[in-house]
Structure formats: C-alpha cells, structure tokens
Amino acid sequence: MELTDGVIRLSPLCLEDVDPHLAGEDDELVRWLSGGISTRQSVEDYIGRCMDQWEAGGPLHAFGVRAGSGELVGTTEVRFDQPYLQPGTVNISYGLHPEWRGRGIATRAVLLVGAYAAAAGAVQAVLRIEPRNTASIAVARRAGYVPFRQSEEGDGRQFTWYTKSLSP
C-alpha cells in the first residue's frame, strides 16, 4: 500500500525504518509525540505492533512519511475505532524529523492520510494537539481543521481538538 500526492509518499512502517526513525528523533518529537526517548528495542516493538495491525486489519494504520529518494522523514498514524471518538471518526497524529520541518510535508501527510481514512469509511477526523505545539497547530489549520473542544488527560496534559469533515 502506498499513498502519494506526487511530492511525498506514505507507506506502512516496516523494520527497515527502525534506524532512520531513531536517527530522526529529537526533543520536539519526544515532547509532543512519543513522550519518551526511544530505544532500538522500543522502536522495533512499536513498528512490529504497527505491522501486526496492518496484517490483522486492526484500528491502527501507521505510515512512514517519505520524501526525496524515498527516505523516511517522519510518521503519521490514523486510528480507527477509538473509544473516545464517535463511530466514523478517526484520530490522526504526525511528526517529522527536524531537517524536514517547515516545508509543508506534514500538511501534505495529514491531507493524504485524511483522504485514506475517508476512502476507508471515516466521515470525520480529529487532531489532538497540545496548545503550546504551535507548529502542529499551524499544520492543522493549513489542512483545514478547526478547533472544537479542549480536554485534559489523566496525566494533566491539555489538548485542543481540531476537527474536519471527511465527507465530500
């Protein structure tokens, strides 16, 4: 499976992505996305779970974001059937390696994965973003998402939820 807009490609994460994933992790990805510094084992475990989800047709669809000659420049996920979402609504998350930020790639990835989710039957998408993550907020707005609610997680983190209809 591969998605493309002619500039970037999205394809399921695979074990060949472990080293580039580790090499691209920085403080921003740890802070906003993963919540902790990755190890080789934790990345292998994560990608293994993602591969299992693809194989089983599970609710997690994790893609490597690829640019240039196909190198891994980040990741994006779409999660179907989340207990905190209405049926037909998906949660999308994304992160890019530092040298690839500021080029519109994250916006392209969010648009591509949203179109993928719509083709799979989703009617709405949600991006949950911490209010201080101004770069991700800018991506959400460029991709046509609008804020619609605030929430607080059990660990005290605050989120603004951005939404967009995926229906034509």
All structural domains of the chain: 3-165 (3.40.630.30)
**Distance between CA atoms of residues 25 and 59, nearest Å:** 25
Average pLDDT across the chain, whole number: 89
Mean local confidence (pLDDT), 139-147: 97
DSSP 79: E
Joined tokens for residue 167: 């229906």
pLDDT digits (tens, 9 = 90+) for 19-67: 888 777 766 665 555 556 777 788 888 889 999 999 999 999 999 999 9
**Distance between CA atoms of residues 108 and 114, nearest Å:** 10
DSSP 68: T
**Distance between CA atoms of residues 34 and 97, nearest Å:** 13
Question: Hey, CA dihedral for 51, 57, 58, 63, is it positive or negative?
Answer: positive
Nearest to 15 by CA among 59, 64, 58: 64
